[in-house]
Chain A
Protein backbone atom coordinates (compact mmCIF):
# COMPACT_ATOMS: atom_id res chain seq x y z
CA UNK A 1 0.00 0.00 0.00
CA UNK A 2 2.77 2.40 0.99
CA UNK A 3 4.75 1.46 -2.11
CA UNK A 4 1.75 2.17 -4.28
CA UNK A 5 1.41 5.62 -2.79
CA UNK A 6 5.08 6.39 -3.27
CA UNK A 7 4.93 5.32 -6.87
CA UNK A 8 1.81 7.38 -7.43
CA UNK A 9 3.75 10.40 -6.24
CA UNK A 10 6.56 9.87 -8.71
CA UNK A 11 5.03 8.49 -11.88
CA UNK A 12 1.65 10.02 -12.46
CA UNK A 13 -0.64 8.57 -15.06
CA UNK A 14 -1.63 11.09 -17.70
CA UNK A 15 -4.69 10.79 -19.91
CA UNK A 16 -4.87 13.09 -22.91
CA UNK A 17 -8.45 13.57 -24.08
CA UNK A 18 -8.73 14.70 -27.70
CA UNK A 19 -12.06 16.16 -28.75
CA UNK A 20 -11.40 18.39 -31.76
CA UNK A 21 -10.79 18.01 -35.46
CA UNK A 22 -7.14 18.08 -36.50
CA UNK A 23 -6.86 21.11 -38.76
CA UNK A 24 -9.43 23.71 -37.69
CA UNK A 25 -7.56 24.66 -34.51
CA UNK A 26 -4.11 24.04 -33.11
CA UNK A 27 -5.36 21.80 -30.27
CA UNK A 28 -4.70 18.44 -31.94
CA UNK A 29 -1.11 19.23 -32.86
CA UNK A 30 -0.44 20.76 -29.43
CA UNK A 31 -1.83 17.66 -27.76
CA UNK A 32 0.27 15.32 -29.89
CA UNK A 33 3.45 17.28 -29.23
CA UNK A 34 2.74 17.33 -25.50
CA UNK A 35 2.19 13.58 -25.55
CA UNK A 36 5.48 12.96 -27.35
CA UNK A 37 7.41 15.23 -25.00
CA UNK A 38 5.82 13.50 -21.99
CA UNK A 39 6.64 10.10 -23.44
CA UNK A 40 10.24 11.12 -24.10
CA UNK A 41 10.46 11.85 -20.36
CA UNK A 42 9.03 8.40 -19.51
CA UNK A 43 5.63 9.61 -18.36
CA UNK A 44 2.88 7.03 -18.24
CA UNK A 45 0.72 8.33 -21.06
CA UNK A 46 -2.65 7.25 -22.46
CA UNK A 47 -4.66 8.92 -25.22
CA UNK A 48 -8.41 8.98 -25.65
CA UNK A 49 -10.15 10.19 -28.79
CA UNK A 50 -13.81 11.19 -28.44
CA UNK A 51 -16.27 13.43 -30.32
CA UNK A 52 -14.59 15.20 -33.27
CA UNK A 53 -11.22 14.06 -31.92
CA UNK A 54 -11.66 10.75 -33.77
CA UNK A 55 -11.07 12.66 -37.03
CA UNK A 56 -7.46 13.18 -35.93
CA UNK A 57 -6.79 9.51 -36.65
CA UNK A 58 -8.50 9.42 -40.08
CA UNK A 59 -6.42 7.77 -42.78
CA UNK A 60 -5.34 9.58 -45.93
CA UNK A 61 -5.30 13.13 -44.60
CA UNK A 62 -3.58 15.54 -46.97
CA UNK A 63 -3.51 18.90 -45.20
CA UNK A 64 -0.51 19.71 -47.40
CA UNK A 65 -3.02 20.81 -50.06
CA UNK A 66 -3.68 23.76 -47.76
CA UNK A 67 0.03 24.02 -46.97
CA UNK A 68 -0.52 22.70 -43.44
CA UNK A 69 1.95 20.22 -42.03
CA UNK A 70 0.69 16.64 -42.33
CA UNK A 71 1.15 15.69 -38.69
CA UNK A 72 -1.27 12.79 -39.08
CA UNK A 73 1.84 10.79 -40.03
CA UNK A 74 3.23 11.45 -36.57
CA UNK A 75 0.54 9.33 -34.87
CA UNK A 76 2.33 6.34 -36.39
CA UNK A 77 5.39 7.22 -34.31
CA UNK A 78 3.49 6.93 -31.01
CA UNK A 79 4.29 3.24 -30.70
CA UNK A 80 8.03 3.97 -30.95
CA UNK A 81 7.61 6.44 -28.10
CA UNK A 82 6.02 3.59 -26.10
CA UNK A 83 2.62 5.26 -26.18
CA UNK A 84 0.63 2.07 -26.58
CA UNK A 85 -2.57 2.92 -24.76
CA UNK A 86 -4.63 4.64 -27.43
CA UNK A 87 -8.40 4.52 -26.95
CA UNK A 88 -11.17 5.57 -29.31
CA UNK A 89 -14.82 5.81 -28.32
CA UNK A 90 -17.10 3.61 -30.41
CA UNK A 91 -20.10 5.97 -30.33
CA UNK A 92 -18.00 8.88 -31.60
CA UNK A 93 -16.83 6.77 -34.54
CA UNK A 94 -20.35 5.57 -35.31
CA UNK A 95 -21.89 9.05 -35.15
CA UNK A 96 -19.44 10.08 -37.86
CA UNK A 97 -19.88 7.04 -40.05
CA UNK A 98 -16.36 5.81 -39.28
CA UNK A 99 -14.94 2.44 -38.25
CA UNK A 100 -11.53 1.18 -37.13
CA UNK A 101 -10.62 0.50 -40.78
CA UNK A 102 -10.71 4.25 -41.38
CA UNK A 103 -8.05 4.87 -38.73
CA UNK A 104 -4.34 5.12 -39.41
CA UNK A 105 -3.14 3.29 -36.31
CA UNK A 106 -4.27 0.33 -34.21
CA UNK A 107 -6.42 1.50 -31.34
CA UNK A 108 -8.51 0.02 -28.57
CA UNK A 109 -12.18 0.81 -29.13
CA UNK A 110 -14.18 1.42 -25.95
CA UNK A 111 -17.84 2.16 -25.32
CA UNK A 112 -18.98 5.55 -24.09
CA UNK A 113 -20.04 3.87 -20.85
CA UNK A 114 -16.42 2.79 -20.23
CA UNK A 115 -14.91 6.26 -20.54
CA UNK A 116 -15.48 6.97 -16.83
CA UNK A 117 -13.57 3.84 -15.82
CA UNK A 118 -10.65 4.91 -18.00
CA UNK A 119 -10.66 8.42 -16.54
CA UNK A 120 -10.77 6.94 -13.02
CA UNK A 121 -7.57 4.95 -13.71
CA UNK A 122 -5.57 8.10 -14.38
CA UNK A 123 -4.19 10.83 -12.10
CA UNK A 124 -4.11 13.77 -14.49
CA UNK A 125 -6.60 14.51 -17.26
CA UNK A 126 -5.61 16.92 -20.00
CA UNK A 127 -8.34 17.87 -22.43
CA UNK A 128 -7.58 19.31 -25.85
Chain B
Protein backbone atom coordinates (compact mmCIF):
# COMPACT_ATOMS: atom_id res chain seq x y z
CA UNK B 1 0.00 0.00 0.00
CA UNK B 2 1.46 3.32 -1.17
CA UNK B 3 4.18 5.31 0.53
CA UNK B 4 4.50 6.00 4.24
CA UNK B 5 5.69 9.60 4.49
CA UNK B 6 7.34 10.50 7.78
CA UNK B 7 7.53 14.17 8.76
CA UNK B 8 9.43 15.33 11.85
CA UNK B 9 9.57 19.14 11.50
CA UNK B 10 7.14 21.53 13.17
CA UNK B 11 4.91 23.17 10.55
CA UNK B 12 5.24 26.38 12.57
CA UNK B 13 8.97 26.47 11.94
CA UNK B 14 9.55 24.73 8.58
CA UNK B 15 7.43 24.08 5.48
CA UNK B 16 8.27 20.38 5.29
CA UNK B 17 4.73 19.20 6.12
CA UNK B 18 3.21 21.38 3.41
CA UNK B 19 5.92 20.34 0.93
CA UNK B 20 5.21 16.68 1.68
CA UNK B 21 1.41 16.92 1.55
CA UNK B 22 1.28 18.58 -1.84
CA UNK B 23 3.23 15.74 -3.44
CA UNK B 24 1.36 12.70 -2.17
CA UNK B 25 -1.95 11.13 -3.13
CA UNK B 26 -4.31 8.20 -3.01
CA UNK B 27 -2.99 5.26 -1.00
CA UNK B 28 -0.22 7.23 0.68
CA UNK B 29 -0.01 7.83 4.44
CA UNK B 30 1.63 10.45 6.61
CA UNK B 31 3.07 9.84 10.06
CA UNK B 32 3.79 12.90 12.19
CA UNK B 33 6.65 12.35 14.62
CA UNK B 34 8.93 14.43 16.87
CA UNK B 35 8.39 18.18 16.36
CA UNK B 36 5.72 17.54 13.73
CA UNK B 37 3.54 15.67 16.24
CA UNK B 38 2.10 18.88 17.76
CA UNK B 39 0.31 19.71 14.51
CA UNK B 40 -2.07 16.80 15.20
CA UNK B 41 -3.59 18.65 18.15
CA UNK B 42 -7.01 20.22 17.60
CA UNK B 43 -7.06 23.99 17.19
CA UNK B 44 -3.74 24.80 15.52
CA UNK B 45 -3.19 26.75 12.31
CA UNK B 46 -2.20 23.59 10.44
CA UNK B 47 -5.64 21.97 10.90
CA UNK B 48 -6.92 22.95 7.47
CA UNK B 49 -3.82 21.65 5.72
CA UNK B 50 -4.17 18.29 7.45
CA UNK B 51 -7.91 18.14 6.93
CA UNK B 52 -7.43 18.58 3.20
CA UNK B 53 -4.75 15.91 3.10
CA UNK B 54 -6.95 13.49 5.03
CA UNK B 55 -9.41 13.40 2.12
CA UNK B 56 -7.07 11.13 0.17
CA UNK B 57 -4.38 10.02 2.62
CA UNK B 58 -4.34 8.36 6.03
CA UNK B 59 -2.78 10.48 8.77
CA UNK B 60 -1.09 9.19 11.92
CA UNK B 61 0.78 10.73 14.84
CA UNK B 62 3.29 9.05 17.11
CA UNK B 63 1.67 9.11 20.58
CA UNK B 64 4.83 9.04 22.71
CA UNK B 65 6.10 12.18 20.94
CA UNK B 66 2.87 14.00 21.83
CA UNK B 67 3.08 12.70 25.39
CA UNK B 68 6.65 13.96 25.72
CA UNK B 69 5.47 17.42 24.70
CA UNK B 70 2.64 17.57 27.23
CA UNK B 71 -0.20 16.58 24.90
CA UNK B 72 -0.95 13.08 26.19
CA UNK B 73 -4.60 13.95 26.91
CA UNK B 74 -5.08 16.54 24.17
CA UNK B 75 -7.91 16.22 21.68
CA UNK B 76 -6.56 15.42 18.25
CA UNK B 77 -7.94 16.30 14.84
CA UNK B 78 -10.67 13.81 13.89
CA UNK B 79 -8.81 12.59 10.85
CA UNK B 80 -5.63 11.65 12.72
CA UNK B 81 -4.98 8.34 14.41
CA UNK B 82 -2.49 8.08 17.25
CA UNK B 83 -0.09 5.10 17.13
CA UNK B 84 2.51 3.74 19.55
CA UNK B 85 5.92 2.34 18.54
CA UNK B 86 4.39 -0.99 17.61
CA UNK B 87 1.91 0.84 15.41
CA UNK B 88 4.83 2.71 13.82
CA UNK B 89 6.46 -0.60 12.90
CA UNK B 90 3.18 -1.91 11.53
CA UNK B 91 2.86 1.14 9.31
CA UNK B 92 6.36 0.60 7.95
CA UNK B 93 5.71 -3.03 7.06
CA UNK B 94 2.27 -2.47 5.55
CA UNK B 95 3.48 0.20 3.08
CA UNK B 96 5.47 -0.39 -0.11
CA UNK B 97 8.13 2.16 0.80
CA UNK B 98 9.02 4.81 3.36
CA UNK B 99 9.88 8.40 2.54
CA UNK B 100 11.45 10.22 5.47
CA UNK B 101 11.23 13.95 4.83
CA UNK B 102 14.40 15.02 6.64
* A and B directly contacting (CB within 8 A): yes
Complex: A123 Cα to B96 Cα, angstroms: 7
- Minimum Cβ distance to chain B for residue A73 (Å): 25
Complex: A68 Cα to B24 Cα, angstroms: 35
Q: A27-B102, A122-B97, A127-B99 are in contact. Are A112 and B23 (CB under 8 A)?
A: yes
Q: A119-B3, A120-B3 are in contact. Are A19 and B19 (CB under 8 A)?
A: yes
Closest to A89 in B: B23
Q: Please classify how large the interface on chain B is, using the bins under 10, 10 to 19, 20 to 34, 35 or more.
A: 10 to 19
Complex: A124 Cα to B3 Cα, angstroms: 10
Number of interface residues of A (CB under 8 A): 16
Complex: A115 Cα to B23 Cα, angstroms: 6
Q: Mark A89-128, 1 if CB is under 8 A from B, else 0.
A: 0000000000000000000000010011001101111011
Q: Mark B9-23, 1 if CB is under 8 A from A, else 0.
A: 000000100010011
Complex: A38 Cα to B24 Cα, angstroms: 26
* Chain B contact residues, CB within 8 Å of chain A: 2-3, 15, 19, 22-25, 28, 96-102
